Structure 1
Amino acid sequence: MTKQTLTRRQALGAAGAATAGAAVTLSTPALSQGLVKWKMATSWPANLPGPGVSAARLAERIARLSGGRLTVDLFAAGELVPAFGVFDAVSQGAAEMGHTAAFFWQGKVPGAVFFTTVPFGLTPPEHVAWVEHGGGQALWDELYAPFGVKPFMAGNTGFQMGGWFKRPVKTLDDLAGLNIRAAGLGGEVFRRLKMNAVAIPPGEIFGALESGVVDAVEFLGPFSDVALGFDRVAPYYLWPSFNKPNGTGEALVSTKALGKLDPDLRAIVATACAAEASAGLAEADWMNGAAVRKLRKTDHVRFTRWSPVVIEAAKKAATAVVADLAAQSPQTAKIAESYASAVTQLGGWSELSTGPYLTGRVA
């Protein structure tokens, strides 16, 4: 990727199609008050449909809501730091802000994975309910506090798909030995199904798939996946996504930088993140729906449902993976317990509402 700074003006242009009023005019009073400029490092290729656009929209929204008093220069993956270097960049002061996904930090803070997605876990609206009403945000804040980082939900790519495969997979034996790009706890579930799961930065996934470094890829939903060209080299599209039933985008903000802002600007940062959490999910659902309709009209993509045998094996593996993770530390165990309680409470309602309603609507 060419390393170049994506300026705020370019970020506004990228987000313009999705957000009205992209241009920001700096008034004389704003100029006289003194302006604050932040850097935002991201884990995404520039303008990647889904999370890349969410990051651009977030930067634009902060500038617009603040009347230009706080502007954010956006850096795509590799422009300021590598895709997996965003957490350290914010923690160590190389950037005041980041846009990424929490499960990338499992090696540093194991409990972080719960704040992106968990196999067979919470759906997007359930996840929001846990974070906002079930104690999730307090646990998230506590987890990152030692690193000088404040986390926010700031986008959501919604339900994911089960992955793109180069050849048909129907049984557990078909999976054994395959190399798959996978992230988070879903990657560990695939490993326990005897696959070789590797973490590859988003901008490098297509090259790995095309060259044969991996035989399969799971990334996001069809909207973002097709933008990266996975359908061109791996025509078997598996569903449902037991490995990633949610896709929360994470904004990381330096607590030091946040503390230097006036109270109204701190509130604007939080408000902009919350707005993007909603906007990103709405966009993902709409655009994924459009992408699926288009893909179903093509001859080269074959939608294939995971077999019940694979689903059952994956569910057993996921239970063991979460239990092993929770055993790593008291803090991770506390997060896992809170998450499990949320699954129980919210799942009871979803089983009476969303599940049977959708089944009836399809029928």
Structure 2
Amino acid sequence: MNRLLLPLLLGASCVAQAQMAQAQTAAKATPAPDYRVATTWAVGGEGGWDYIYVDHAGGRVFASHGAQVDVLDLKDGHKVGTIPNTQGVHGIAVAPAHGFITCGRTNSVLVFDPKTLAVTGSVPTGAKPDAVLYDAFSNRVFAFNNDGTTATVLDAGTGAAAGTAELGGAPEAAVSDGKGTIFVNLEDKNEIVAFDAKTLKEKHRWPLVTGEGPTGLAIDRAHRRLFSACHNEKMVVLDADNGQVVATLPIGSGVDGAVFDDGRQVAVSSNGSGTITVVKEDSPTSFRVAQTLATARGARTSALDEATHRIYLPTADYGPAPAPTAAEPRPRQSILPNSFRVVVVE
């Protein structure tokens, strides 16, 4: 090496290290946002619920509810429409041309017009389609079959079936890295599996190590971090490139959802016990629980509006459980009529 160049290279290296240290210090100095319950939207009606979805471009919030999807105005939460006959509804996703709803009792995905809300088709799936994900990179929709070990793949432009991805476990929530890889929690295996959005071939399979019963999943695309929210009250943070566990954080009980706010650099788990847990990413290797906010019991799923940083959580009030029967020895608590609502956190 040219001796004249050595000081310059060393100097450049020192500058780069100093800049990295300054960036990490600045990240740590950035305070975590202080969340609060901003408002609650009364929706009413009867029945249970699962996922909620925010369509910021369309100005709407889609909430699974009973055997229908309630469509709410994003500005003030008033109901603007209903998509009926969604038996066993779980997830909703909206692509530019079509919307998609998973129906667990009929093993199908309903295709609808996001503007008129009219149902335009139905596509058969595997057993009990649950979470659903639209991936803009591949222009595909993935319906994850929780009672099976597969994802049913649809063309987002036409709404037609486009294949099946073999997952090797019971899938829950999934995320895309925006570059062609889909990550999904396997609830029964305590794993995350990654597969190619176009070829559908498996790329990686990683154990969660400290996490059990993973449900909610979020991603920090810029720093390549996955946040798996698990039923043993832990959030496991993994490197999205090699599957290494970077951190494990305590969260509330009854979790079913997680979101990552890139603008705020926080991952948030929605806990059915009636809280959200806010995990601040101070750097790609440093995480901490920054806040636990009381929301409402049963508010276990969530959706983030990335434009406004608001988080939406559906829930309702519970009544007594019915008497046990031979067919249902452990009946769930009843849901009080007209108590369904959406808690808005900001």
TM bucket normalised to smaller? under 0.3
Structure richer in helix, relative to its length: 1
